[in-house]
A and B are shown apart, each in its own frame.
Chain A
């Protein structure tokens, strides 16, 4: 027996721990998953036996994810804090992975050197690097590593039949089960079944003398002889899978995942979505792609036959939506729930021993000899250098992926947010982070305040979230209609969730917050903007939870760590023997079945060469495609698209380079023009689609009609531009659009404005706000309100006036009832109103009753992005009555009223006009509110239109509003008897405060237009100011 320590393994461990251990400090926190595990770790650290967590999703159970890794993080956090726990567990994962792959290689190849090589290569395996440093999937890594550790023990049990080995194997399997649930289930299929096949082969070989002579009958006989052991092991492991995480299974049964599938890159067609192809195919396979023929050849030799089948399956499943096969094999359901990247991970891990074997043969074995004989020593060295080069390149590339293409926003300093939440009882409401990426989990882990969002979507319960394929509300802009739609529901009816604060790290969401009635509180010192909503009640002190029996809590809290302890005690002897070689012990039995690396097969040698060349050609072609894509000015369509692409990404210097160089527009002038344009389109829009039509073309000029589709947080904008293009030499250029030359009359001007300040609490006190510091709620009066029916959709419309002497923030909640006074629906007015009213100001409003989208499975989801998409609530019965609750609260901000309507003209069904900003603030997004009235001066409809461009002070902006056809609109009920303001009856208020109202004033503002279903319209203007002075 060889008593020396395996120096390859030792170096692999050293390199691995130093390399990965040092780099995780820079990568792990910006991975997708690590912080989620940290959050769970924090949960266990605080409530070891309590599975209910209030922090996310209005409460969820942590029994939806096996707890071992999270509990370990929690346990280590007692020593040095949560991050210490995370990094310690990560380092343990690294060690387990390297030793695990070593043992797996050993049982597969029966050669300690090969296994050593495998261990070293595993350190640089791009799949492992990606999983750890980019995805941060710690439970997955630990689960897989322990499974690899279990494989030799399973082999020995099946081969020898000593109960000791069964015990070892099962104890390790138990740890796998408690750390990751998917790994043992699929591991059974893809790792353990092939291993069993291999054992049977080995047993058959012992009988037959060589693998070649094994026939099916003999294989069957061996199988039968081992049948008892296989079944014993099978039942044992099944029992473990069920018992160890029994609460998980019970929870899965009781709370089946209702979440609709969330798109994942691993299910894309990799040719269509090349970025997914890169991340989920090219990177995990990495250098192994060059060695596929060797790997497959070896795996399809008789001994490894079942591994061959397994790796084939894994490879195919890992290709996601590229081929229809995975979808057919897994079925529609499983395909949409599983993330398929794990199959590629397993395939590449399974291939590692063969890569190790190849390297051994290449570096010091028969392949080296063969190459040296054939082509000489220098060639061998060059080839070796090339291989090393590719390996180093893929390692660097994978490691730096997160640096060059960050998947996460910049690291956010959490301390100011934590301080904000713990000050002044702010944590008595829920909050919502926006644009935080996965760092939201880190925030949740540190505060006791709760959020409506969360980062573990299988655990969600609110139908507003489960029916939509939204990963998180926090990054909803990446999910189009479902994202923004979901977010809008939370922002419109925040009272339902006690949601009062929004932390915005992405100004994209600012307009939607404003138009949903939120107001800016202040910017924290880390640059995060805090938005606040008035009139939201605090959380009640007792919150609902779903309790589970104590035995489940005990099982969940105790079993995972017990499995680790047991596995440690049982296997410790093994580790000592293996690592230190302190005691004489014979080689394990699988050492008998190694092959001698004598003659490298000629055909495979040639095939490898051919394949290598093919791969080189593919790579070259790929680079060529990238180059071609970057040539921009060969065609008018090309240059127009490039111009808009540059504008979209705010690369204005690049955009300028596409402009006609002879157009007298200097770079400075262009940049200045760009700098002064603001508005929905230029500051908050993302180009979704662009269609360029060349409407006329000569040799050197062209005229293009550019139809652009922009996504903004508020709505989808379609805008048509006309461009002239010129050609100089071989390049096409875009003629710059004429610029508005308007000169405002005043260089300097003064204006008196009324500004307000509210102290909040005048006394610094940790108690409730003093009685005398509480202001009276501003009194509002509802002038009219009614239920309107329009093609089976119901809305509440009306007008409300602030009749108090102080500015008011207005929240309007409408409830519809049927004729039996049963409640049908309840919603708030969203953006079809002015939420902030000056004293005596009037606003029209419309409440749309929004349902939860796609609650019916049959409803088809739109394929493309449309933030304006609206899902009307379905009414089984006809609404007959309504209740309107209006609340006024004192506000001091967003009271800008400086925009006037300066010019109007009516052309058929269009109203064209000019808005003029007469005040001191730059209006970023103007909103036109259009109220329609019938000939009796009664309100019949309220519509809105956002203007895509902003208005600077003393400037004009044109608008063009298309009048609606309202002939199908019916008024159902206009009785004001159930209208309440601040809890008081509206009729009482109007009798008392404005007893002799001059009703004719209302109609003085009406613009007479004879239209379909209306006789007058009225314009009102609401303004969003992006950067208030």
Chain B
């Protein structure tokens, strides 16, 4: 058994040595850790330039770089195997803002840091500008806003306090001022002047100029105005046209109101009823047209731009064209001829004069007939079959004259 003991000791010893050596080697390996140091000195880059991040590794191992910017996140590989030389992709290098990065080794993060990309002032400046609203009202209360966003050629806004030159022209005014951009934009409110017209605007940053913008300045609310009338004669013939014409309607600053503004002419007749016509302005003047009445009447006319402006009251009178007309009864009084209707110079009235007859029997109205004149004459037929024989009363109205015939006998 001696032999056995010896063997056992040897075996134990051997295994002990083995264990110790294994333990030692593992510990040694653990102490051998990879570290990285950033070699690149710059922390701030201009947009569009190549951005290289170079790291020095204590032991050459395979690494990757995780980068995160406002544009998104990305993982890029090193240029060469087992080095840490990274080129930030162009699309990220072109965008202004903070870029954070993490160098990744096999076992995890080796280095973390941030770089900043700023807009590239060496490139040509681009301008983005907006104007709105495109139309405002004269008088200095309404305004439009001009906004300018100066950027570099990669569309990165230029840093705050970039000088922006703005200029606008209105009539013979040309104004210029310099803005300092703030929070990426430069903006200004441009108030209207007292005159209507068109403001042209422009802006400039560095050597770059914007295109021309225009803002329409419309006249303000209309002021009271005058009206006059225009007619061919003063007779109430129911045929000619009377025109009502406004003076040139202006706003409080003397601008002619914009074309198309609607003016309403309200006409009060002798009975107090309201007629109306309307016209829209052309160069400030509106014209309303209406037919002459067909009976004696006096009209009071007042024009309105409702809620905003009104005119004087105009009074015009129409005189009757005839005092009387002939009425002839034929064919057992069944055929009634009215006329000739003679107008103011003894001419026949123009065709279309309305003649109305009311037929009464026993004080009951049976029928109203309306016909229009032709050659100054109107003929009514009271046919037998429809009008039994007997006595009828007939009332005839034309051009404001009313005639009555009692007890007309039809046979």
Contacts and interface: CB of A to CB of B under 8 A. Distances in A.
B307 A754 contact: no
Interface in B348-384: 350-352, 371-374, 383-384
A356 interface: no
Contacts of B241: 745-746, 918, 954
Interface string B285-321: 0011111010000000010111111100000000000
30 contacts: A703-B386, A740-B372, A741-B372, A741-B374, A742-B372, A754-B260, A754-B281, A754-B282, A774-B134, A776-B133, A776-B134, A805-B260, A806-B260, A839-B261, A839-B280, A842-B306, A842-B307, A895-B260, A900-B278, A900-B289, A902-B291, A904-B273, A916-B290, A918-B288, A956-B291, A997-B308, A998-B307, A998-B308, A1001-B307, A1004-B310
A1019 B273 CA distance: 12
A839 B291 CA distance: 25
B131 interface: yes
A426 interface: no
B289 A918 contact: yes
Nearest to B136: A776
B306 A840 contact: yes
A1 interface: no
Contacts of B259: 754
B275 A805 contact: no
Contacts of A918: 241, 277, 288-290
A743 interface: yes
Contacts of A997: 307-308
B372 A805 contact: no
A382 interface: no
A776 B291 CA distance: 39
Interface string A748-772: 0001111010000000000000011
A742 B261 contact: no
A696 interface: yes
A997 B307 CA distance: 5
- Which 9 interchain pairs have the tightest Cβ spacing? A742-B352, A900-B277, A918-B289, A805-B258, A805-B218, A754-B260, A838-B262, A698-B385, A776-B133
Nearest to B373: A741
B240 interface: yes
B216 to A, nearest CB: 9
Task: Point out which of B130, B261, B287 has the most chain A C-beta atoms below 10 A from its C-beta.
Answer: B261
B213 interface: yes
A905 interface: yes
**Mostly helix, strand, loop or mixed at chain B's interface?**
strand
Interface in A262-306: none
A923 to B, nearest CB: 14
A1007 B350 contact: no
Given A771-B130, A1005-B264, A838 B280 contact: yes
Nearest to A900: B277
A901 B277 contact: yes
Nearest to A751: B287
A801 B372 contact: no
Given A742-B352, A838-B262, A1001-B310, 18 more contacts: A698-B385, A724-B383, A741-B352, A741-B372, A743-B352, A745-B240, A752-B287, A772-B213, A776-B132, A805-B219, A916-B289, A994-B221, A994-B307, A1001-B307, A1004-B266, A1004-B310, A1005-B274, A1006-B274
A1002 B306 contact: yes
B135 interface: yes
B310 A998 contact: yes
Interface of A: 696-698, 701, 703, 724, 738, 740-743, 745-746, 751-754, 756, 771-772, 774-776, 783, 801, 804-807, 838-842, 895, 897-898, 900-906, 916, 918-919, 954, 956, 992-994, 997-999, 1001-1002, 1004-1008, 1019
Contacts of B352: 740-743
Contacts of B302: 1004
A1004 B268 CA distance: 10
B239 interface: yes
Nearest to A897: B278
B276 interface: yes
Contacts of A1008: 272
A359 to B, nearest CB: 66
Contact of B282 (A752, A775, A805, A898): A752
Contacts of A901: 275-277
Contacts of A698: 384-385
Contacts, number: 165
Interface string B243-280: 00000000000000111111010100000111111111
A696 B366 CA distance: 14
A801 B264 CA distance: 13
A801 B307 contact: yes
Given A740-B372, A900-B276, A905-B273, A839 B308 contact: no
Contact of B260 (A741, A807, A954): A807
Interface string B222-243: 1000000000100000011100
A152 to B, nearest CB: 71
Interface in B370-405: 371-374, 383-386
Contacts of B277: 900-901, 916, 918
A1007 B274 contact: yes
- Interface of A (DSSP majority class): loop
A838 B260 contact: yes
A1001 B133 contact: no
B153 to A, nearest CB: 21
B386 to A, nearest CB: 5
A701 B134 contact: no
B20 to A, nearest CB: 66
Interface in B39-67: none
Nearest to B135: A776
Contacts of B258: 805-806, 839
Contacts of A703: 385-386
A746 B239 CA distance: 10
A927 to B, nearest CB: 15
A993 B221 CA distance: 8
A247 to B, nearest CB: 44
B385 A801 contact: no
A775 B383 contact: no
B280 A754 contact: yes
Contacts of A756: 260
Q: Which among A701, A776, A994 has the highest number of chain B CB atoms within 10 Å? A: A776
A724 B372 CA distance: 18
A576 B197 CA distance: 89
A954 to B, nearest CB: 8
A658 B137 CA distance: 64
Contacts of B232: 745
Contacts of A774: 134
B291 A775 contact: no
A895 B241 CA distance: 22
B266 A701 contact: no
A1015 to B, nearest CB: 14
A959 to B, nearest CB: 13
Contacts of A916: 277, 289-291
A903 B260 contact: no
Contacts of B351: 741-743
A699 to B, nearest CB: 9
A1001 B304 contact: yes
B306 A1001 contact: yes
A1006 B272 CA distance: 11
A420 B305 CA distance: 41
A696 B385 contact: yes
Contacts of A956: 291
A595 B351 CA distance: 89
A1004 B135 contact: no
Contact of B290 (A696, A701, A900): A900
A13 to B, nearest CB: 69
B404 to A, nearest CB: 20
Contacts of A753: 280, 282
Given A754-B280, A805-B261, A900-B288, A743 B239 contact: yes
B134 A903 contact: no
